[in-house]
Structure 1
Amino acid sequence: MPKPRRSNDWGFPRWRGYGGSREATNVRLCDRHGCEEPGDCPAPKAPNSPDRWYFCQAHAAEYNRKWDYFEGLDKAEKEQRAKAERQESAGYAEASHYGWAGSGDGSRSADEMRALDVLELEADADFGAVKKAYRAKAKEVHPDVKPGDAEAAVEFQKLQVAYEVLRLAEERREWKG
């Protein structure tokens, strides 16, 4: 007789993981004839109708390809509606830099991210890659290589500042860690 398995939830069903059950789940297939992909993108069957088609992402994109938000409006009305839409969403665009979904994993400051942009590196670049990129770019615009070139001098200064910001941040990390 097999030994009964213990549950990992210690008697608290709410502690079980979501989707941890072993029962079969119903998957709605795409409503496009012949498509076997999951249909997880709802699309209205008709204007002001609660009925929906359920398409896969590829067929939903095809369904919405020629959709025009301003269809049926004359040119002046289109411009007025577009202007109103931009004004309503201006607050979101203005505050977008406060969002959580910025680049990186949150371990780098905004100054570090700007410095990585100057060096044309990804947000997760390690310090070895920073050194390599700095040296390669600095060789191209160094004042000894391009004497008298004001643009190259400004670019070299940007590279120096970016490298210094990233070097100090790396030192702080090593000191804390």
Structure 2
Amino acid sequence: MPLRVTFVAAARSAPLLAERFEDDRPLDQADWDEVRRAAGELLPLAAAELRYCSPTRRSRATGDALGFAPLAQLALRDCDMGRWRGLTLGEAMAREPAAVDAWLADPRATPHGGESLLAFISRVGGWLDTRPADDGVRVVAVAEPAVIRAALVYALKAPPATYWNLGIRPLSTATLLGGGGHWNLRFESPAVRANRP
């Protein structure tokens, strides 16, 4: 049986366009309500042998609220956005339109002085490939949507531009099966997920 890594997107009530780069705000009341509504479906994932999270307050709190007691992983941090940290995409575009265009068009670009999209995808993929490959090990990782998109692009060996076409909803899950650079994406219904963490 292959290694099974299930990513859970951290709770987030803010609209996507209001999200700030490297946002580390804690969960607000709407986020907590969202976690409570999803807990019944996601709680079985707490049976995973290994439980991790991004180091953001939102990811840690989501994992704790779901009963995962996750261990924060520095490799699962959001992309380093340099001087754009704390800005929305719209704010960065208003300040540096040519730089944002370059960043969106070239996965190697670092006009913000931080990490390139390609380096971010590689970092998250490196974490994924170093998970224990013991047969049947189940891993759950609560992470920011950007981290999950990076993991999926890496696992599927998709072109980096695919990153921009993946929508990850709060508290949604994505399961990868495999290990060592060979991954398969699995979609499951809530009933199946409840029976197979």
TM-score (normalised: structure 1): 0.19
Larger RCO: Structure 1 or Structure 2 (Cα < 8 Å, ≥ 6 residues apart)? 2
> Which structure's residues are more often strand, by fraction?
2
TM-score (normalised: structure 2): 0.18
Larger Rg: 1
